[in-house]
Amino acid sequence: MTKKPTKLFDVMTKKAAAVSPQPEPGEGKHKTLTLRLPPVVHDQLREMAFTTRQSQHALCMEALNLLFERHQLPPIAPIAS
């Protein structure tokens, strides 16, 4: 018979471990980047995402690839299709 965890932290840790998905092989951890944009830039990005039916994330990844190419680096930012 297993002993029940008594502390809330133990209960939450076990529950989170059981629910959190494991990354697929070859998929590294992603990093978060906070980007501060002027309101007019943010509005234009939102409008562009709406009219092109792409996410803002996809548009930013495309922009990063263009930046990499401009600096003679390979375009490696993944773009969702």
SS3 of the chain: the string is CCCCCCCHHHHHHHHHHHHCCCCCCCCCCCCCCCCCCCHHHHHHHHHHHHHHCCCHHHHHHHHHHHHHHHCCCCCCCCCCC
Mean pLDDT for the chain? Answer: 81
Higher pLDDT, residue 57 or 6: 57
Q: Against a cut of 0.75, is the pTM above it?
A: no
- Would residue 6 count as lying in a domain? no
Summarised one tens digit per residue, pLDDT across range 33-70 is 999 999 999 999 999 999 999 999 999 999 999 999 99
- Would residue 81 count as lying in a domain? yes
Instruction: Yes or no: say if 55 and 49 are a contact pair by the CB < 8 Å rule.
Output: yes
- Would residue 65 count as lying in a domain? yes
Instruction: Yes or no: say if 68 and 74 are a contact pair by the CB < 8 Å rule.
Output: yes
**Counted domains in the chain:** 1
Q: Which domain holds residue 81?
A: 38-81
User: What is the torsional sign of CA 69, 72, 74, 77?
Assistant: negative
pLDDT in the model for residue 14: 67
Residue 78 — pLDDT band, cuts 50, 70, 90?
confident
